[in-house]
Amino acid sequence: MASLRVHSDRLEIHLTKAEKTLALRREDIVVPRGNIRSVTITDDPWIWIRGIRSPGVGLPQVVAVGTWKFRGGKDFLAIKRKRQAVVIDLIDDEFSRVILTTNHAPDLIASLKLSG
């Protein structure tokens, strides 16, 4: 499972070696905090998938890791089984959306809140 690290200026998504292999990706994903539009917790990440896999691995209701392209851009997924996940909507970034299964979704959302 990918590990997430929140910094004052960015969110780092560190993929496991297996996830990088399945996604045909060499680098982790780094998102500037200013590019995060919203973060949502979902109990069923599979309903959020849009587009076609390119490249990556997808076995419905089991695993989806990689890039999914759709008419308006592309999303990155690292979903395992039907587990709680976060949906991170982005602007001006490599991906339009990142969907990740995580055991720490509420903590992630709390740590991403901008100070007012």
- Segment 86-99 mean pLDDT: 96
pLDDT at 37 over 90: yes
Decide: 51 and 75 in contact? Cβ < 8 Å: yes
The string over 78-116, giving b where at least 16 C-beta atoms fall within 10 Å of a residue's C-beta and e elsewhere, is bbbeeeebbbbbbeebebbbbbbbbeebeebeeebeeee
Q: What does the pLDDT read at residue 115?
A: 40
Q: What does the pLDDT read at residue 87?
A: 96
